[in-house]
Amino acid sequence: MKQKVLEVKDLAISFKTQYGILHAIRGVSFDLYKGETLAIVGESGSGKSVSAKTILGLLAGNSIYESGEINFDGLDLTQVDEEAMHSIRGSKISMIFQDPMSSLNPIQPVGKQIAEALINKQGMPKAMAKERVIELLTRVGISEPEKRFNQYPHQFSGGMRQRIVIAIALANNAEILICDEPTTALDVTIQGKILELINELKLQRELSIIFITHDLGVVANVADRVAVMYAGKIVEYGNTEEIFYDPKHPYTWALLSSMPNLATSKHLDAISGTPPNMIFPPKGDAFAPRNKYAMKIDFEEQPPMFKVTDTHYAATWLLHPDAPKVQLPEATIRLRENRGKLHYGK
Amino acid sequence: MIKYLMKRMGLMFITFIITIFLFFFFIKLMPDNFVPSPGVGNEWYEQLAEKEGWNEPIIVQFGLWIKNIFTEGNFGYSHIMNRDVSEAYFKKIPASIKINIVPYFLSVPLAIIIGVYAAIKKNKWQDTVISVWIMVFISIPFFVVAVLSQYFFYWKWHLAPDYKIATASEFTELGFWYGISTYILPVIVLTVVSIPGMARYVRAELTEQMTLDYMLLARSKGLTQKQAVFGHALRNALVPILPGIFIGIIGILDGGLITEKIFRVDGTGRMYLAAFNGRDYALLMLINAFGQFLTLTSAILADVSYTLFDPRMRVGSGKLS
Amino acid sequence: MMNINKKDLVLVYEDDKEIVDVSLESKRIGYYQDSWNRFKKNKASFVAFIIICVIMFFVVVGPYMRGYDLVNEDPIEASRLGNLVPRIPVIEKLGIFDGTKTIQAGKQFLLDMYTNEMGQGIILSGMPQALIDNPEDPAYADVNMLEVVVDHYKYTNYISSYKPERYYSIISQNEINGTNNDPLAEVKRTLNQEEFDVEIKNNTIIDILQILETQNPDDPDKPFFQYIVRINQFKSSLGTSDPSSVYFWFGTTDKGGDLFTDLWLGARISLIMALCVVSINAIVGLTIGSTVGYYGGVFDLIMDRLVEIISSIPFLSLLTLLTIRFGSATWVIVVAFTATGWIGNYRTGRMQFYRFKNREYVFAAKTLGASDARIMFKHIFPNTLGYIVTGLALSIPIFVFTEATFSFLNIIQYANVTSVGMLIQKGQAVMMQHPHLLLFPAVYISILMIAFNLFGNGLRDAFNPSLRGVE
């Protein structure tokens, strides 16, 4: 059994907005094991980023903690004070963000921004910090680190900036790295390199990674396990293989069908309809109105998590023993047929 | 970057020449703008007519005006004061500086502190109080604030020793400390009214900076809220504000008309009003040209300080150096 | 397992039926409706909006509410009613604006007023009882001046119709200097027969001091009579013998004009001018700006230089030179404010059009063959309208502010109208003696400015919800 490093239990967070209380996440639970990558997949607004920011205690001022626990290192992170949270951030848990363009301070040399993490956290003397920064820059693949040390963010390309952000995140040897859509803003060619870097670092440092994305292609490349989120809830989770080749939830089917794929010659199936307004969360299964396989009960009652295997769970009434058997969407079938033929996974 | 600045300065110089020529032209066209002739045979009158070219076309007169500035330091003869205007005018600058300098050096740090405090306490009651105060003092015209403060603090409550500042003779008669104490009211009023504008700017800039992603990264790499605000957001927020602060230094030289009228400061602002009321055209020309000079100098200073504080400007955006 | 109804476990959608996007169930709200809703939610701005409406009401109606125009009909009589303190019905019961005033006057004068019939009820408090009991009270032997609270309306009536404040000082001066100045000169009127008859008819005459007879050259049997009389000032000027029934809400000016009327007249002038200036600036600036922004090119480059030169002309220089040359007619002021004022709108228009012209939807419209004019008016203008309206709403207070400031400095001096700034300037000169002349205009302009700024901020937030809180 792998060592569990982080456990999120029944977490619910809402936001006070002008129009009412927005229920961003409604009871999310997942575990993170040492050295694994857990991908959280979902549309925008499904609550992925909120879950991540909650772990680091970086939610905006209008957020309301409703319930749940985040267990890390013997602490419940939803309950600890700012002081304790501050000692965890950066040195135990770190995060990188979507847009490397805006996540670096534009008017400070990058070297200083990395060194700051070291000086502040470890009380490292300046000269030593600089050495360490140059080491880090080399490690994340930036050439001529001495020269680069004194340059400003706008003098770097997007991919390089993301490397610097990664260097900042890992400067203090964090155990957990949360990646919030780290490649979304990058060119496809650069995406691959950044993912490679993250994978390398993970193996080298036994990092546990929470990888947030809406791109299933990226998930296939990095994840050990996948959690699919919809409307503030996790609807299905399991090993990457299970999610890709034996998905159970109609939303996962829909996601997989909408993924471009070399094997598909047919047009893509977009998911029709719009996600629900989370100020008024629906009574039953939130996905039901968009779900081709929706049943009457989906509109009445939220489905519980049905166990598929020891590692694979899904929240859909279709797994109820009495539910009618449905025809799987073509795309998922084809995916399964082509298993092994296509380059997915590592 | 130096090339850019040189270009800016060149353009500003052209603008400067064109605008002061427009002033000159307009002032010369005033129907009552002439030095009355004291009769034939007055040598000084003819010399002056020769020197300032009163019988020449305006463009030549303008040339002579500039020439006289550089050769003799003469900015034009005022028949109202019977002398060259620059002597009288530049002597008034120290009085204006005296009343402006303390409010400036008080209001800048106070405005930054208040703006930062409001931004950190955004949407809490402290922020609301500050915002209301800012709104009130931005809205009420300065002269109303100044006049009402005179009314209440001097006439009504007798808290101030006088409603105007002491003159030089009062300084000697009534003592130095009395003289200084008359400065307290105007200094407080000037400080109080100059804080809100900048405080609002600081608050707005800082609130915006605090919502940016780099603040999240700064927090997630382990800085406290305080470290992140003061180490990152505040510095970035001040970048667009600093040029304004530098321009303020130049503004000290230029006496405010209202301040000097209300508090009877014998400075450049009052001289402007005197020139206006007395139709002293030579003096008006000097003051307008000098004011224009200060304005454009501030603009250049602002450009320079932008490039000093913002590395993006320094190296040209997006290019590797 | 949960206890669920098995009948619910049936698919609800037909196999091949496509799920289409459901339209939103809310009512369709336009951009402006939405903006209005947001605006209403902003309490401060909404209150400000109501205050502006109230001010507008008074600006339109206020000057006619009092129906008092003595200043223009008879300036000399009016000036005898000058500097009256404010008295407002209802509020007077609270002890403020009740027409009372603390004055200083000679002991003898006050004593006389306290005792004689005409002076009854004028002094409200402050008269020492000892002095009333014994006018020769030795404790007050050295006191010449007394401070008492008076009903300022009655008091003004008394000194302008019966006995001037300087009555006893003139008498004593006559004794000392041996002069023969008439102590009653200030209140004496000389009337001819016709005027006398009118005053008799109106029953305003207090007493007849002297009747002069002069020869009539045409008809020696009918000599001219001149009557030197004292008349009741309030009764002859205002038609009431009871000064306590007179209400000048904001008091009167030094010339005896009603400050309430003058204030709203001044406010009207500055607001009408503000509307003129703002609309000229908007039309000129936006037309040029949007054309330049939309077409760009060489035109843009030339305008850029031109605008830089024009905008570098300081407003103060422009205003002073224009007023020196052309005087302070309202049109001069409007010219001064518009000569460089359109630059701001020009920049807004240019920037907005430049920004929107590269939007995809504009390209789409172009591809569909829309003309330039149609694109500008149908597709770009509505998008920039919110921004522009906000700018205009905020530039009204800026005009009022600036105009008042320069009126205050006497750089703007209208010949036949009085602006609010001029009122404040006059008030400042006499703020010690007649504070109401300063306070009312000052409070008016402060409220107006705050209301307009709050209103403008509310508009901006309503039109640009994303800017909320970032000022």
- Give tens-digit pLDDT for A297-337: 888 888 888 888 888 998 888 888 888 887 777 777 777 77
Contacts of the segment B129-136: beta carbons below 8 A, 24+ positions apart: B130/B199, B130/B203, B131/B203, B133/B196, B134/B196, B134/B199, B134/B200, B134/B203, B135/C450, B135/C453, B135/C454, B136/C446, B136/C450
Q: Is C70 contained in some domain? A: no
Can you give the pTM of this predicted structure?
Answer: 0.82
For C375-414, the DSSP string reads IIIIIIHHHHHHHHHHHHHHHHHHHHHHHHHHHHTTSS--
Write out chain A residues lying below 8 Å of B122, CB-based. 61
- Identify which of B140, B148, B155 has the shortest CB distance to residue C449: B140
Question: Is B256 contained in some domain?
Answer: no
Residue with tokens 């550089």: B70
Asked whether the beta carbons of B77 and B83 are under 8 A apart, the reply is yes
Q: What pLDDT score was predicted for residue B215?
A: 87
- Please determine, for residue B11, whether its predicted confidence score (pLDDT) is greater than 50: yes
Taking the C-alpha atoms of residue B284 and residue B279, their distance in angstroms, rounded to an integer, is 8
Over 80: is that where the pLDDT of C44 sits?
Answer: yes
Mutate to test the interface with C, among A62, A279, A297, A307 (most CBs of C within 10 A): A297
C312 touches chain B (CB under 8 A): yes
- Which among A53, A107, A116 is the nearest to B239, CB-wise? A107
- For A22, the enclosing helix (H) or strand (E) is strand A20-33
Question: What pLDDT, on the 0 to 100 scale, is given for residue C55?
Answer: 92
Q: What is the per-residue pLDDT for A297? A: 81
Cβ B273–C409 below 8 Å, yes or no? yes
Whether the CB of B284 is below 8 Å from some CB of chain A: the reply is no
Region A43-63 average pLDDT: 84
Residue where a domain terminates, one of C245, C274, C293 = C245
Which pLDDT does position C153 carry in this prediction? Answer: 84
Same domain, B211 and B67: no
> Which partners does chain B have (≥3 C-beta pairs < 8 Å)?
A, C
Where in the sequence is the domain holding C220, given as residue range(s)?
Answer: 75-245
C2 at interface of A, judged by CB pairs closer than 8 A: yes
Render pLDDT for A141-181 as a digit per residue (tens, 0 to 9). 888 888 888 888 888 888 888 889 988 888 888 899 999 88
pLDDT of residue B130: 92
Q: Which range marks the domain in which residue B148 is found?
A: 93-251
pLDDT at A345: 40
In chain A, positions 213-272, which contact chain C (CB-CB < 8 Å)? 272
Nearest CA to B234 among B270, B257, B187, B201? B201
| Chain A closest-CA separation from residue B123 CA (Å) | 10
Whether residues B48 and B150 fall in one domain: no
From chain A, the residues in CB contact with C6 under 8 A are 322
Closest chain B residue by Cα to residue A57: B220
Q: How confident is the model at residue C98 (pLDDT cuts 50, 70, 90)?
A: confident
> Residue B24: left if φ>0, alpha if ψ -120 to 50, beta else—which one?
alpha
Question: What's residue C198's pLDDT?
Answer: 81
Residue C155 is encoded by which pair of tokens?
Answer: 């008091």
Residues 6+ apart with CB under 8 A from C393: C452, C455, C456, C459
Between residues B310 and C470, the one the model is more confident about: B310
C338 and C390 together in one domain: yes
Residues B121, B13, single domain; the answer is no
Q: Are residues B160 and B224 in the same domain?
A: yes
Residues C241 and C265 in one domain: no
Burial class (CB in 10 A: 0-12, 13-18, 19+), A61: exposed
Give yes or no: residues C282 and C194 share one domain.
Answer: no
C-alpha C146/C-alpha A107 separation (Å) is 71
- Same domain? For B199 and B281 the reply is no
Q: What is the mean pLDDT of residues B242-255?
A: 78
| Whether the predicted pLDDT of C15 surpasses 60 | no
Q: Please, which residues have CB within 8 angstroms of residue A308's CB and are 6 or more apart in sequence? A: A238, A242, A246, A248, A314, A319
Residue C461 in this model has a pLDDT that exceeds 60: yes
| Total count of domains within chain C | 2
Q: Which of residues 410-429 of C touch B (CB under 8 A)?
A: 410-411, 421, 424, 427-428
Q: Decide if B169 touches A, using CB distance below 8 A.
A: no
> What is the reported pLDDT for A267?
64
User: Could you tell me if residue C21 is inside a domain?
Assistant: no
Question: What local confidence, expressed as pLDDT, does residue C29 receive?
Answer: 63
Q: How confident is the model at residue B321 (pLDDT cuts 50, 70, 90)?
A: very low
Any chains having at least 3 CB pairs less than 8 A from chain C are A, B
pLDDT of C430 > 80? The answer is: yes
Residue B318 — very low, low, confident or very high, per pLDDT cuts 50/70/90?
A: very low
Average pLDDT over residues B240-256: 79
Q: Which pLDDT score is estimated for C28?
A: 59
Q: Do C21 and A304 touch (CB under 8 A)?
A: no
Residue in this structure with the two tokens 């100044």, named with its chain if needed: B146
Interface test with chain A among C1, C10, C11, C18, by most A beta carbons within 10 Å: C11
C270 and C418 within one domain = yes
Nearest-CA distance from A204 to chain B in Å? 20
E strand or H helix at C291, and its extent?
helix C259-295
Q: Which of B94, B93, B92, B73 is nearest to B84 (CA)?
A: B73
Query: B217 and A154: CB-CB below 8 Å?
Result: no
Yes or no: say if B150 and B201 are a contact pair by the CB < 8 Å rule: no
For the segment C232-246, the average pLDDT, to the nearest whole number, is: 75
Task: Note the pLDDT of residue C132.
Answer: 78
Would C98 be classed as within a structural domain? yes
pLDDT at C190: 81
**CA C44 to mean position of chain CA atoms:** 22
For residue C36, tell me if it sits in a domain: no
What is the torsion angle, in degrees rounded to the nearest 10, for the CA atoms of residue B54, residue B56, residue B57 and residue B61?
-60
Query: Phi-psi region for residue A315, left (φ > 0), alpha (ψ -120 to 50) or beta?
Result: beta
Residues of A in contact with B121 (CB under 8 A): none
Interface contact B236-A107, CB threshold 8 A: yes
For residue B190, being part of any structural domain is answered with yes
Stretch A103-127: mean pLDDT, rounded? Answer: 86
Q: Do residue C409 and residue B258 have CB atoms under 8 angstroms apart?
A: yes
**Are C368 and C221 within one domain?**
no
- Specify whether B177 is located in the same domain as B296: no
Q: Report the residue count for chain B.
A: 321
The CATH number covering residue C455 comes to: 1.10.3720.10
**How far is it, in rounded angstroms, from Cα A12 to Cα A51?**
9
Q: Does C11 touch chain A (CB under 8 A)?
A: yes
Cβ-contact B130, B196 below 8 angstroms = no
Considering the domain boundaries, does residue C397 fall inside one? yes
Structural tokens at position B220: 């997630």
Question: How much is the CA Rg of chain A, to the nearest whole Å?
Answer: 21
Tokens of B6: 């040189």
Question: Are B124 and B244 part of one and the same domain?
Answer: yes
Q: Among partner residues C4, C18, C19, which is closest to A297 by beta-carbon distance?
A: C4
Mean pLDDT computed over every residue of chain A: 84
Nearest-by-CA chain A residue for B237: A107
Furthest CA-CA distance within chain C: 132
| Helix, strand, coil share of chain A (percent; to 5) | 35, 25, 40
The per-residue pLDDT for C469 is: 40
CB contact under 8 A, B141 and C308: no
Distance of CA B297 to the CA centre of its chain: 11
Angle subtended at Cα B294 by Cα B290 and Cα B299, rounded to the nearest 5 degrees: 145
What is the arithmetic mean of pLDDT over C363-390?
79
Confidence of residue C52 (pLDDT cuts 50, 70, 90): very high
Can you tell me the mean pLDDT for A93-104?
A: 84
C313, C401, C431: residue with CB nearest B141: C401
B229 close to A (CB below 8 A): no
Q: Indicate if the pLDDT at residue A346 is higher than 50.
A: no
Higher-confidence residue of A75 and C276: namely C276
Touching check for C183 and chain B: CB below 8 Å? no
Q: By the CB < 8 Å criterion, does A342 face chain C?
A: no
Residue C467 has pLDDT above 60, yes or no: no
Chain-chain contact of B223 with A108 (C-beta, under 8 angstroms): no
Predicted local distance difference test score (pLDDT) of residue B320: 33
B25: amino acid identity, one letter: F
pLDDT computed for residue B117 by the predictor: 92
Higher-pLDDT residue of B255, A150:
A150
**ipTM associated with this complex:** 0.87
Confidence at C465, pLDDT banded by 50, 70, 90: low
Q: Does A171 touch chain B (CB under 8 A)?
A: yes
CA distance C118 to chain B (A): 33
Q: Looking at the partner chain, which of C314, C409, C446 has a beta carbon nearest the beta carbon of B144? A: C446
CA distance B321 to C71: 76
Task: Give yes or no for residue C466 having a pLDDT over 90.
Answer: no
Closest-approach residue (CA) in chain C for A319: C9
Q: Do B140 and C453 touch (CB under 8 A)?
A: no
Residue B238 lies in a domain: yes
Same domain (yes/no): C313, C457: yes
**Mean pLDDT to the nearest integer, C104-114:** 81
Q: Do both B173 and B290 map to the same domain?
A: no
Counting one residue from chain B and one from chain C, the pairs whose CB atoms sit within 8 A come to 111
Phi, psi of C231 (to 5 degrees): -120, 155
Residue A253 has pLDDT above 70, yes or no: yes
Question: Is B247 touching C (CB cutoff 8 A)?
Answer: no
If contacts are CB pairs under 8 Å, which of residues 7-66 in chain A contact chain C? 18
The pLDDT value given to residue A227: 93
Same domain? C83 vs C188: yes
Distance of CA B61 to the CA centre of its chain: 30
Q: Are residues C315 and C204 in the same domain?
A: no
Provide mean pLDDT across the span C3-26. 62
When CB atoms are compared, the residue of A117, A120, A155 closest to B320 is A155
Chains that touch A (3 or more CB pairs under 8 A): B, C
Residue B243 and residue B106 in one domain:
yes
Q: Are residues B243 and B283 in the same domain?
A: no
Task: Answer yes or no: do C470 and B144 touch at CB < 8 A.
Answer: no
pLDDT at A279: 82
| CB proximity B321 to A under 8 Å | yes
Q: Are residues C264 and C233 in the same domain?
A: no
- Residues C285, C414 within the same domain: yes
| Chain C residues closer than 8 Å to A300 by CB | 8
Dihedral over Cα of C156, C161, C162, C164: its sign: positive
pLDDT at residue C176, as a whole number: 86
Q: Is 60 exceeded by the pLDDT of residue C1?
A: no
Starting at the edge strand that comes first in sequence, how are the strands of the sheet with C145-151 ordered? C100-106, C145-151, C123-125
- The pLDDT value recorded for residue C3 is 62
Residue A344 pLDDT > 50: no
Residue of A165, A135, A134 whose CA lies nearest to A148: A134
Looking at the structure of chain B, the number of domains it has is 2
Same domain, B162 and B299: no
Whose CA is closest to A117, among B235, B229, B221, B224? B221
Asked if the C-beta of B219 comes within 8 angstroms of chain A's C-beta atoms, the answer is: yes
Q: pLDDT, tens digit, for every residue of A78-93?
A: 888 888 888 888 888 9
Q: How far is CA A295 from CA A250, A282, A291, B286, C322, in A?
A: 11, 15, 9, 87, 80
With the CA atoms of B62, B67, B72 and B74 taken in that order, what torsion angle do they form, in degrees rounded to the nearest 10?
A: 20
User: Any chain A CB within 8 A of the CB of C466?
Assistant: no
Q: Does one domain contain both C229 and C337?
A: no
Cα–Cα distance, A115 to B87 (Å, whole number)? 57
pLDDT mean across residues, chain B: 84
Chain-wide mean pLDDT for chain C? 81
CB atoms A297 and C9 under 8 Å = yes
Q: Would you state the pLDDT for residue C471?
A: 36
Which residues have a Cβ under 8 Å from the Cβ of C145 and sit 6 or more positions away?
C104, C105, C106, C107
Give the pLDDT confidence score for residue C444 in this predicted structure. 92
Whether C383 shows a pLDDT value over 50: the answer reads yes
What pLDDT is stored for residue C470 in this prediction?
Answer: 38
- CB proximity C442 to B under 8 Å: yes
Determine contact: B316 vs chain A, CB below 8 A: no
DSSP class of residue B232? I
Asked, for residue C12, whether it belongs to a domain, the answer is no
Distance CA B204, CA B200 (A): 6
Same domain, C230 and C122: yes
Q: Are residues B98 and B71 in the same domain?
A: no
pLDDT in tens, B72-124: 888 888 877 777 888 888 888 888 888 888 889 999 999 999 999 999 888 88
